[in-house]
Structure 1
Amino acid sequence: HGRLAGSGHAGEAAMLAVLLTERGLGGDGADLERRLMRFRGEKSPRATSARQLAERLARQVGDAKTSGAVHAGTLLIHAWPDRVAKARGERGRFVLANGSGAMLDAADPLAGEPFLVVADLQGKAQNARITAAAAISEEDIRSALGGKIETRRQTSFDRERRAVRVRETVRLGAITLAERMLPAPVGADADRAILEALREHGLSLLTWSKEAQTLRQRLSWLHKGLGAPWPDMSDETLIERLDDWLLPFLSGAASLAAIDAGVIPAGLSSLVPHDLQRKVDALAPTHFDVPSGSHVPIRYDGEWPVLAVRVQELFGLDRHPSIANGTVPLTLELLSPAHRPIQTTRDLPGFWRGSWADVRADMRGRYPKHVWPENPLLAAATARAKPRGT
């Protein structure tokens, strides 16, 4: 009774206290509000003496007169704030503010209530049966327990929409009283949320253009070969250094789709020390000009840079193609006219003088419209098939 008193409704509180200790008064249902109404009118000697006991208890507290009727739930909530329960899923199933689960028979009139205050439970924590409870409104919960209610804003990343979302939840312990979506953040908050999403989900969330991918591979190759101060391009380091290379280029939008394609290459380049910036193209060029005049892209996705090129485009070249001021030979992936790999070499002059004869014999039969000279060093490089009629 001590837990129920002190709310200016000592008479009602005392009646409830008696009901909770005396089984069967006002009926056997779980709904204390109904039992309280029946108990007030019950004529049996047991009920009469119980009401007298309630009056004595109320007098001890010094407030026998109740100031207007009050709901059982409103009285109980002060006594058991951790036993506020919210309906979840199936009818009759509830979760309590303290995290436990509890249930009522689906046919019980209280089973359809959105919120209860549970005065008595029997059985195990997750499946305890509610034997005494009262309905309460969300409004009454908020006004009675304002100090215990927490409003939290949670920023999360919606992978499908590639955007940051903000959810506001109002909670009482383990119970969610309400939740709603708020507008996405803007400015510095949006930028921070984008970085947070990348830390959690990885760099693959970003849109990597061909230019960005190639630049990353070139810088990574320079870092592996030459070490610091060439920047490390591993996922781990780039995520660790997001504040250095990505944050300065963001524009305060909470969506990845709003990040301009040029932002990533600009950000990665900014990690290269100023005095090395102009050396990137000299040491790790994006393309190599072959004798046929074609501007062929260099691949940096393996241990060594690779030049995949049709063999006819290299005729007449007696020096192995290299980069980084001639210090790094390119791995040549020699292709057929149909762009299929024929052979890989890091010694072109050796290839011309060695296995070219076998390659030529095989290729002449397969691609008769193309030139297959006996001595490729004396032939003109070409990106085309033979002219008609030759």
Structure 2
Amino acid sequence: MRGILLHMKQLPIDAVLPELLEAMRNGTNAVLVAEPGAGKTTRVPLALLQEPWLDGRKIIMLEPRRLAARAAAKFMASTLGEQVGETVGYRVRLDTKVSAKTRIEVVTEGVLTRMLQADQALEEVGAVLFDEFHERHLHGDLGLALTIQSQSLLRDDLRLLVMSATLAAESVSELLGGAPVIRSSGRVFPVETFYRNTRLEGRIEPEVASTIVQAVRTHEGDVLVFLPGVGEIRRTAGLLAQSGLPSNVRIAELHGSLPLEAQDAAVAPCQAGERKIVLATSIAESSLTVEGIRIVVDSGLMRVPKFSPRTGMTRLETTPVSQASADQRRGRAGRLAPGVCYRLWTEQEHAYLPQHNAPELLEADLAPLALELSVWGAADPGELMWLDAPPQAAYQQANELLKQLHALDEEGRPTGWGARIAKLGLHPRLGFMLLKAEELNLTAEACELAALLSERDLLPQERNVDVQLRLEALHGASGRLEADRGAVMRIKAQAKQWGLMLMENRGQQPEWKGAAHIGLLVALAYPDRIAQRRSDGRYLLANGRGAVLPELQPLSRSAFLAVAEIDGAGSESRIRLAAELDLDRLEHAAREQFQIEEAVEWDIEAHAVRARRRLRLGAIVLKETPLQQPSPERIAEALADGIVREGLGLLSMSKAAKQLQARMQLMARHNSGWPDVSEEALLASVQDWLLPHLYGMKNRSDLQRLNMVQLFESLLSWGQRQELDEQVPTHMKVPSGSRIPIDYSDPEAPFIAVRLQELFGLQETPRLAGGRLPLTIHLLSPSQRPVQVTRDLRSFWNDAYFEVKKDLKGRYPKHYWPEDPYAAQPTNRVKPRT
């Protein structure tokens, strides 16, 4: 093996291989940062193969993408002069080439998870290599967390090597216990980069196509074009076909939904005299050398799934790439010779791009991860070590879904069904559907539907969202609609594989019985997305959200739909894929989804308690009838709930009740032992002070009869009532003999309004609450109009009185205006009695 490597063409990675091998001999973990073109993917596994510590065991190398996994395995096998499947093999979805003599297995990330669940110690494995880890796929993060725990608890001799071209190596090194970091420069030729002068607006395809044509006419070599998705690829290909390109220029597509042979053809070298334009998604961003590329045209966009805990839905979003991804893409043009890169954004826009892509773990549906952790034996993600821990809200929502699908019990432990679903290696929703279909003798239909829903839309340009139409296209029975041949082959192969896994104990392949139950099967997988048609044609989902069909179509007349794919944006989601649902079939097959609810609740519009018996599917009410003779306790609880929701305005708050509440609140502000009777506190404690008085009542009219003065007084002890009357009385007797009411509407500044002449002889401001709060005095003229507001009566008599007297004496000459207010006789008349 060493001899083979020595006689191969030298690559930059070769310079650091001795350092890497030494690090792996002296420790169990390492981090390798190698620039694009360094050769890490194909050189490192071969270099490790003869290390003594491997002791005849296998090397497992993770590749995030199937195309890269197969290409890496084939290249290493050819290096050894062998066919793939001998010393070097691969395992990807629907394609495996390994044998008894295989020592290096290149696998995609989900495959490693299955291997770990089958053998937590990985007894036959000596090293696990994580390639292109910077892509931060969910299964990559999960696989690393699981292998770290396996190494810690079961296999202290297991080697872990994390490799990447662009990676924050220090954080990974820390996660791996301070593992050494080895760095290698890449074999990258100079790449001249061109930016746009202005921001690109509108559809990107016309600009992409014109840039490609310009590049082909200006530069030599093949062209690699990065676009966000298959739709943009197809539209760009259509424009290029009409652009007058030379006849020797071939257009090839490269994306995950292509057949394997088409993917191989896209990355293969051109024939002599031929040039090619490869229109690719981010599948071509790393790990993969597309032969002959000298020109890169980058749209600067990528399409990623993002999960919303608010809606419980995942939707594909088109977002700008990170600077790291843009550099990876540009590097494709400099793998073999100097090249050029056209970026369809401005230099100013580039400065604002994020440094790195967000880890998928932080934005994905975590139901598959939560199930894997449960089967692994981790009750909480915190038991494992992560670069980024799973978000708590999304993880909690994932657990709730798994319980609804009977994959977890109430304590969060995996059920028998949960363990079986995990082994199938598909989303728990679809796994539950397959197991439920077994009971209904619909295995073949469910396997095909699960495979169909696991792929991209089979008819991406079709506006009709009916799943049935896709199944017809799958079987070639849709007339004018023709599905992609590669996708059809993949779907059928995957359906067959799942069917064999489910029927392995029966020794036969399940038979197809027709499509009449498709809506039922979709409803089993997506019980929260069962939809009922409203009177206006919109739909209500079982999860409580609204939904609409994108346009008028055959399904628009359906009373009930089972929705398989939905756009979770906005207040009302757009239905992307659905099937008509027969509710009777669903009730027969999954009666547990239907709930009978006896509701006794406050009706805000009627201002009364309403008692109803309802048959529900989540938020969908299928049938409602009056509930006979609800218990008095439930009626009283509903009344209390209505008061909490609508506020104390439902009760009859007389002026005396409001004054008593204000007086009590003033005392509570100055005495910690007094009850808090603010509206917030009263509503929070309705169950304690009000509920016992609600029995026998049913509506707002009944509530209005409650005596709120008595209810407030009942909150006080006898001593507190006495103290209340002494310290915050309802009235104040002034020197004239009048009893003036005290206004407590502002607990911070209770006040009296009294004519100035009635206070003659009063030297100090009266105080409340045991002398802690001065009373505010609104001094009135003889005509009861305010002339002064004060909380310091002595200061008023000494200073302001004489100015006020001068003004008022001219207007009210018959009234009493003494020179000395302290010695004057108070009066509530024009002049005091003699």
Taking structure 1 as the reference length, the TM-score comes to: 0.66
Contact 2:652 2:704 survives alignment (8 Å) = no
Contact 2:600 2:611 survives alignment (8 Å) = yes
Contact 1:171 1:178 survives alignment (8 Å) = yes
Q: In the alignment, residue 106 of structure 1 is paired with which amino acid?
A: L
Q: In the alignment, residue 294 of structure 1 is paired with which amino acid?
A: S
Please list the CA deviations of residues 281-305 of structure 1 after superposition, one character each: whole Å capped at 9, or x if unmatched. 1222100122434321112324354
Pair 1:222 & 2:222 matched? no
Query: Cα gap change, 1:255/1:2 in structure 2, threshold over 3 Å: closer, same or farther?
Result: closer
Question: Which residue of 472, 475, 491 maps to 1:22?
Answer: 475
Question: Which residue of 363, 374, 381 maps to 2:808?
Answer: 363
Residue equivalent to 1:273: 717
Residue equivalent to 1:263: 707
Please list the CA deviations of residues 185-237 of structure 1 after superposition, one character each: whole Å capped at 9, or x if unmatched. 67322322233334445445544221122112212222223x23322334443
| Deviation of the 1:168 alpha carbon | 5.2
Query: Cα gap change, 1:368/1:280 in structure 2, threshold over 3 Å: closer, same or farther?
Result: same
| Deviation of the 1:335 alpha carbon | 1.4
| Deviation of the 1:311 alpha carbon | 1.0
SS at match of 1:271: coil
Contact 1:4 1:76 survives alignment (8 Å) = no
1:90-129 superposed matches below 5 A: 91=537, 103=549, 106=552, 108=554, 110-116=555-561, 126-129=573-576
Query: Cα gap change, 1:334/1:140 in structure 2, threshold over 3 Å: closer, same or farther?
Result: same
Please list the CA deviations of residues 103-138 of structure 1 after superposition, one character each: whole Å capped at 9, or x if unmatched. 486253x532323567xx78867545558x5563x5
Q: In the alignment, residue 751 of structure 2 is paired with which amino acid?
A: V
Q: In the alignment, residue 81 of structure 1 is paired with which amino acid?
A: A
Contact 1:191 1:253 survives alignment (8 Å) = yes
Matches of 2:684 and 2:625, distance apart in 1? 32
| Deviation of the 1:345 alpha carbon | 3.6
Please list the CA deviations of residues 23-74 of structure 1 after superposition, one character each: whole Å capped at 9, or x if unmatched. 327x679xxxxxxxxxxxxxxxxxxxxxxxxxxxxxx9999xx9xxxx975x
Question: Which residue of 674, 679, 683 maps to 1:239?
Answer: 683
Pair 1:253 & 2:697 matched? yes
Q: In the alignment, residue 788 of structure 2 is paired with which amino acid?
A: Q
Matches of 1:180 and 1:369, distance apart in 2? 77
SS at match of 1:24: coil
Matches of 2:645 and 2:830, distance apart in 1? 52
| Deviation of the 1:383 alpha carbon | 3.5
| Deviation of the 1:239 alpha carbon | 3.4
Query: Cα gap change, 1:384/1:249 in structure 2, threshold over 3 Å: closer, same or farther?
Result: farther
Pair 1:310 & 2:765 matched? no
SS at match of 1:332: strand
| Deviation of the 1:183 alpha carbon | 8.1
SS at match of 2:752: strand
Query: Cα gap change, 1:221/1:116 in structure 2, threshold over 3 Å: closer, same or farther?
Result: closer
1:154-233 superposed matches below 5 A: 157-159=602-604, 161-166=606-611, 169-173=614-618, 175-179=620-624, 187-225=632-670, 227-233=671-677
Contact 2:609 2:698 survives alignment (8 Å) = yes
Matches of 1:194 and 1:313, distance apart in 2? 49
Contact 1:249 1:263 survives alignment (8 Å) = no
Q: In the alignment, residue 336 of structure 1 is paired with which amino acid?
A: S
Matches of 1:320 and 1:135, distance apart in 2? 78
Cα RMSD of the aligned pairs, angstroms, is 4.7
SS at match of 1:215: helix
1:370-385 superposed matches below 5 A: 370-376=815-821, 380-385=825-830
Q: In the alignment, residue 308 of structure 1 is paired with which amino acid?
A: A
Question: Which residue of 504, 523, 526 maps to 1:81?
Answer: 523
Please list the CA deviations of residues 209-268 of structure 1 after superposition, one character each: whole Å capped at 9, or x if unmatched. 21122112212222223x233223344433343333222333442334422465322222
Q: Where in structure 2 are there 5+ consecutive unaligned residues?
A: 1-433, 447-467, 482-507
Matches of 2:816 and 2:705, distance apart in 1? 42
Query: Cα gap change, 1:310/1:147 in structure 2, threshold over 3 Å: closer, same or farther?
Result: same
Residue equivalent to 2:393: none
Pair 1:330 & 2:772 matched? no
SS at match of 1:334: strand
SS at match of 2:753: strand
| Deviation of the 1:380 alpha carbon | 4.8
| Deviation of the 1:148 alpha carbon | 1.7
| Deviation of the 1:358 alpha carbon | 1.4
Residue equivalent to 2:743: 299
Contact 2:644 2:683 survives alignment (8 Å) = yes
Question: Which residue of 595, 602, 621 maps to 1:150?
Answer: 595
| Deviation of the 1:348 alpha carbon | 3.9
Alignment: residue pair count:
340
Matches of 2:652 and 2:788, distance apart in 1? 34
Matches of 2:643 and 2:754, distance apart in 1? 37
SS at match of 2:476: coil
Q: In the alignment, residue 193 of structure 1 is paired with which amino acid?
A: A
Indicate the percent of aligned positions where both proteins have the same amino acid.
35
Matches of 2:811 and 2:669, distance apart in 1? 41
Query: Cα gap change, 1:139/1:365 in structure 2, threshold over 3 Å: closer, same or farther?
Result: farther
Matches of 1:117 and 1:350, distance apart in 2? 79
1:341-352 superposed matches below 5 A: 341-348=786-793, 351-352=796-797
Matches of 2:566 and 2:740, distance apart in 1? 76
Query: Cα gap change, 1:292/1:150 in structure 2, threshold over 3 Å: closer, same or farther?
Result: same
SS at match of 2:697: coil
Matches of 1:196 and 1:134, distance apart in 2? 39
| Deviation of the 1:100 alpha carbon | 9.5
Residue equivalent to 1:56: none
Question: Which residue of 274, 290, 295 maps to 2:734?
Answer: 290
Q: In the alignment, residue 23 of structure 1 is paired with which amino acid?
A: G
Please list the CA deviations of residues 141-178 of structure 1 after superposition, one character each: whole Å capped at 9, or x if unmatched. 54554332123355554445543445655333564434
SS at match of 2:683: helix
Taking structure 2 as the reference length, the TM-score comes to: 0.34
Query: Cα gap change, 1:214/1:115 in structure 2, threshold over 3 Å: closer, same or farther?
Result: same
Matches of 1:238 and 1:94, distance apart in 2? 40
SS at match of 1:208: coil
Query: Cα gap change, 1:123/1:195 in structure 2, threshold over 3 Å: closer, same or farther?
Result: closer
Matches of 2:559 and 2:767, distance apart in 1? 75
| Deviation of the 1:8 alpha carbon | 9.4
SS at match of 2:742: strand
Residue equivalent to 1:53: none
Q: In the alignment, residue 86 of structure 1 is paired with which amino acid?
A: Q
